[in-house]
Structure 1
């Protein structure tokens, strides 16, 4: 009888743990166990725990993976470096209340090793992927004695913490697998590191062994500053959080839509990934490091890394520094970095000064000291009082809700100009450098005084003569019923000049929370001035745009009034800081929509066609209807802003050139703009005209229709870029395959209009300027009032043409996945 009872109990237990049972089992209690052919399954069937063999390996590991994903994706491994070489493994709760993994001969392979013992231990696999050990008698079910989330392997799941529990001295960090066949700790790690002295300044690092591979910048409100990836992690439906207090320092994230499956995984890089159900594949939407400037300290000490338009890196010594080895530096070996031109001063009478660098990824803070109670002057004084202090920063901190004074000692490493904003840093400039500059300035001033005194006498006479001539002219003009207004007044600016304090208040001291984005010449902030929403462009001191370009932008657009041009409201100049105040565009820029798979669906064909026509009308005004003929020279998706009704407005006139009379073209020795949008004659020879803007417009129109970027490769075999793809499809009679797939739900008539626009776009990007239509003809073509001629072969048929034409380029453009879709009549 006892044997029969034992047999029944054994059968029931086996059935309860079998993979073929109907009810999912998510818990283990004492006397229960998991073996080779049984698993735990979370309550809603999202995750599964059991034994697996990775890749071609024959070893057995205990792990957790997604239950309902066709590609087995392991997110946690217990015995990473202690494999079981046969199927004898078992998992159970031992006499101490710990979860224990046994190998052959009851050898302990792995254990939770909890110091707290439960009265009634229970192990449970939760629906967030967390394996927990708790006391079943504890009413607080969230009171875990041990949890797998505290010991991540190579993956972060929503709700997991990456970082430190300072109370327990626990560091949660990722380490890569050795290979796809071996989950043991590989060479790469990813985690939060604290400064050695105070453990207060947190940084995220990817390391290859002990070497630093990548460093995230400081956390600012919603993201880490200083990253290069042009696709923000916040574009996806997730919330990201960074917590730092006396007990914990960690980074975590959560998904807004619980049906979305996402993870962060470390290999040789870090990928933010999501599961695409339709394609049954994992897709990476955010990757670090993403480009050459992301790699730690690539330019050596005391220098900054700048990425060119062609994705080539350019290392520059900071102001007051020079290459340590000029010969190697010229040979593009920047590893030795830069050194000071002259040593700093420790004399109280000869104070060094500080040069502020804006919007940088600030240096590595491993050797810093900070005091959050200081004001700006105290922070500066503390740095000056120490000869080893190289730099300081002083900014509002969203973590402490106060100000942070951070001092750097020794060489400065890992500085770059990030495309998505950074911080200000004050770098020490020796007094001796300033003194030499002052002596030179004094000589110039003395010469200027002598020359000025000589000229003033002559000028006085001319002024008196001019006064009488002006009075005579006024009398003549009054007699002839003229207003007497000087013609030169037409050239004078009639824009309000705002003081820096007013703009600072309007933008909440240029808060990161107010930051809208960053263009080639600097960041743009949202603000409120007199009850009106404004956009403030703060010119980067390290940008290519100087005072001349700044004045150029003001002069060109101050008197431009058109519904498809962004209106300028004022400007501000304070020392080296230059600001432009524009009307605020609530829907950001065009590239924000058309290059994003989800947001592009918000732009149906009628809206896209409206945008195309609006841009064309704005160009028509610039080329023909404004007082001066204006060539924009940098027309692209990011320079087209959208108002609340999705009406397009051309912006960013920093590179524009104006002509008078009948002049329609010019040339320049300095080619500036964006590759992929530049006309060939401008990129190669510096020749620009209204037809070069037409070329940019044609490229932009093809992007709007297709939702694809012009500089990507869409045919690896032939190296076709977007223009080459459009031309090839048209020659094959398959141009409908270029149309963005999200537009195919529109009517057939709309698709006919889209096909006509592809034809017009190819006419605009023809090789020779004389073959391209002017913008007035383009508008007639868009209205359907003009018969379309057959286009000739375009410029930049393949990306090889563009990249070989640019001697400075050695980096190939990215390859973009594309799918061809057939349009059917409805």
Structure 2
């Protein structure tokens, strides 16, 4: 990976122990100690594009690994790194050794003898060798490889001392001949071994290990940050398990989503959430900082949102007064922008499938952050819809076509958004709401109030005084009703919703909403129905059809 020569090449360097594969870019022709060319024939011919591989396989977590100190280097690019300024080098080594994805470590700050810890995960980018002013890098290798290197190093020193002591031309000539023959044979054997090992590896490897593209935090670090997952640090509880507030050694505040063993979100949903949210970057989406899979634990680490979720305000008799109308309408606009990004502006076309008040978090400035992507699904190419035999989500927010037929699309999220808009404006839940006069749920009540020109009666009394323009509130209710229409084709796209919320464009009259006669349900918040295999449970679930 690092050698001598003026030519710049990208060398592909893959680990052999199964935890991570990574690429490296080198400015020279050689490989790092412990690595050999992947294709010796191409290497000899001057083609170094296939890069280097580890000479000896490693058994991750079996005590067969260590670190080789390589000096006078420019340290790798820090895009896949993690650091802790307070950690010493011994602790740095221990943390790296426990994490299979950790490739190397070094001092974070080289001044005054070095301090802190920086870890690299996966790819090692842009390593260079300097004759002076270089730094030390501790690269992960098999223990046998490190021992062999140390033995060769000692033998080399003894050989030099012997040559100097004897100081005879004959000995030097014989030694040179012997070394030449030895190196030729060793090179042939190494080349044969590399070719055989690569052939076996390629043939046995049917699919590559998933790259989660996120920093790994070990269980001890998270436990310390959350004070041993104490009740005093607990922020809340969901179907997946509890959420804890924590503070890392660096001072950064985090929220730890800890999946319980009986969580409805299983291993696949956990992986799905990591893969999706790690690739998303938007001010109205919650940012994920890392993950932990250790022993029986599965945890996600998010940036901490001090104001928790929207439902903790709008459904609370006291705190609802803290959300005046300007704040509520900005929250609605933020959710709309976040959904528009998921549907059309992100690298992946994503349907959230579980948008609800408790899954919209609020930062210190009351900006909306959409969270919980465990049930999200991606659509490829120009797809806008899909089917599923397993309907999962939350009653009161699911669209009729999804809840009944397992048919979901971008318009399914639009329906959930419309329900959320009506809840934010009214301060009442859609599920469980029952008006004594018309016996309708919140959607049906809002529709009835609208067609009878009484929509202003839907407005939450907690913010009426802070609302200087009732017409703006009525316009938002109108938009909410457009989003919950029965037919998905009648619902607007989120890009149109964002435009309607930010302009005075003319609005169409909404048609009859879906599920507007839904009654108060007695089931749990999260629904999971398999449409092909009937349940063996004693308790049954009925899906209510709209009129």
| TM-score bracket relative to the smaller structure | 0.5 to 0.7
Instruction: Provide closer, same or farther for how the CA distance between residues 511 and 632 of structure 1 changes in structure 2, counting only shifts above 3 A.
Output: same
SS at match of 1:742: coil
In the TM superposition, what are the counterparts of 1:743-754 in structure 2 within 5 Å? 743-749=463-469, 751-754=470-473
Instruction: Tell me the equivalent position of 2:315.
Output: 595
Query: What's the offset of the Cα at 1:647?
Result: 0.4
In the TM superposition, what are the counterparts of 1:142-291 in structure 2 within 5 Å? none
Instruction: Tell me the equivalent position of 2:399.
Output: 679
TM-score by length of 1: 0.39
SS at match of 1:790: coil
User: Is the aligned partner of 1:782 residue 2:501?
Assistant: yes
User: Is the aligned partner of 1:733 residue 2:453?
Assistant: yes
In the TM superposition, what are the counterparts of 1:612-627 in structure 2 within 5 Å? 612-627=332-347
SS at match of 1:553: helix
Query: What's the offset of the Cα at 1:620?
Result: 0.6
Instruction: Tell me the equivalent position of 2:279.
Output: 559
Contact residue 431 and residue 520 of structure 2 kept, 8 A? no
Instruction: Tell me the equivalent position of 1:655.
Output: 375
Gaps of 5+ in 2: 1-194, 530-538
Q: 2:260 aligns with which of 524, 540, 546?
A: 540
CA deviation vs aligned residue, 1:569-624 (integer Å, no higher than 9, x gap): 00000132100000000001100000112111111100000000000000011001
Query: What's the offset of the Cα at 1:540?
Result: 1.1
Instruction: Tell me the equivalent position of 1:522.
Output: 241
Query: In 2, distance between residues paired with 1:572 and 1:464?
Result: 29
Tell me the C-alpha RMSD between the 2 structures: 2.8
Query: In 2, distance between residues paired with 1:747 and 1:767?
Result: 30
SS at match of 1:589: coil
Instruction: Provide closer, same or farther for how the CA distance between residues 667 and 459 of structure 1 changes in structure 2, counting only shifts above 3 A.
Output: farther
Query: What's the offset of the Cα at 1:684?
Result: 0.5
SS at match of 2:465: coil
Query: In 1, distance between residues paired with 2:405 and 2:522?
Result: 15
Query: In 2, distance between residues paired with 1:803 and 1:774?
Result: 32
Query: In 2, distance between residues paired with 1:589 and 1:635?
Result: 12
Q: 1:634 aligns with which of 354, 372, 379?
A: 354
Instruction: Provide closer, same or farther for how the CA distance between residues 503 and 759 of structure 1 changes in structure 2, counting only shifts above 3 A.
Output: same
Instruction: Tell me the equivalent position of 1:500.
Output: 219
User: Is the aligned partner of 1:768 residue 2:506?
Assistant: no
In the TM superposition, what are the counterparts of 1:244-393 in structure 2 within 5 Å? none
Instruction: Tell me the equivalent position of 1:694.
Output: 414
Query: In 2, distance between residues paired with 1:517 and 1:801?
Result: 25
Query: In 1, distance between residues paired with 2:493 and 2:197?
Result: 48
- Larger RCO, structures 1/2 (Cα 8 Å, 6+ apart): 2
CA deviation vs aligned residue, 1:271-330 (integer Å, no higher than 9, x gap): xxxxxxxxxxxxxxxxxxxxxxxxxxxxxxxxxxxxxxxxxxxxxxxxxxxxxxxxxxxx
SS at match of 1:653: coil
User: Is the aligned partner of 1:513 residue 2:232?
Assistant: yes
Instruction: Tell me the equivalent position of 1:275.
Output: none
Query: In 1, distance between residues paired with 2:360 and 2:392?
Result: 18
Query: What's the offset of the Cα at 1:496?
Result: 0.6
CA deviation vs aligned residue, 1:476-521 (integer Å, no higher than 9, x gap): xxxxxxxxxxxx99x8322111111111111011000000001221
SS at match of 1:741: coil
Instruction: Tell me the equivalent position of 1:721.
Output: 441
Instruction: Tell me the equivalent position of 2:101.
Output: none
SS at match of 2:305: coil
TM-score by length of 2: 0.58
Query: What's the offset of the Cα at 1:543?
Result: 1.2
Name the structure where helix makes up a greater proportion of residues: 2
Contact residue 719 and residue 799 of structure 1 kept, 8 A? no
Contact residue 796 and residue 802 of structure 1 kept, 8 A? no
Query: In 2, distance between residues paired with 1:803 and 1:769?
Result: 27
Query: What's the offset of the Cα at 1:811?
Result: 12
Instruction: Provide closer, same or farther for how the CA distance between residues 517 and 464 of structure 1 changes in structure 2, counting only shifts above 3 A.
Output: closer
Query: In 2, distance between residues paired with 1:757 and 1:549?
Result: 34
Query: What's the offset of the Cα at 1:783?
Result: 1.2
Q: 2:199 aligns with which of 433, 456, 461?
A: 461
Query: What's the offset of the Cα at 1:802?
Result: 7.9
Query: In 2, distance between residues paired with 1:621 and 1:555?
Result: 17
Structure with bigger gyration radius: 1
Query: What's the offset of the Cα at 1:656?
Result: 0.6
How many residue pairs end up in the alignment?
334
User: Is the aligned partner of 1:757 residue 2:489?
Assistant: no
Query: In 2, distance between residues paired with 1:458 and 1:775?
Result: 55
Instruction: Tell me the equivalent position of 1:798.
Output: 517
Name the structure where strand makes up a greater proportion of residues: 1
Query: In 1, distance between residues paired with 2:519 and 2:331?
Result: 31
Contact residue 290 and residue 302 of structure 2 kept, 8 A? yes
SS at match of 2:264: coil
CA deviation vs aligned residue, 1:641-671 (integer Å, no higher than 9, x gap): 0000000100011111112211111111111
Instruction: Provide closer, same or farther for how the CA distance between residues 810 and 465 of structure 1 changes in structure 2, counting only shifts above 3 A.
Output: closer
Query: In 2, distance between residues paired with 1:459 and 1:711?
Result: 60
Q: 1:584 aligns with which of 304, 323, 331?
A: 304
Instruction: Tell me the equivalent position of 2:363.
Output: 643
Query: In 2, distance between residues paired with 1:459 and 1:762?
Result: 64
Gaps of 5+ in 1: 1-456, 467-487, 813-826
Query: What's the offset of the Cα at 1:458?
Result: 10
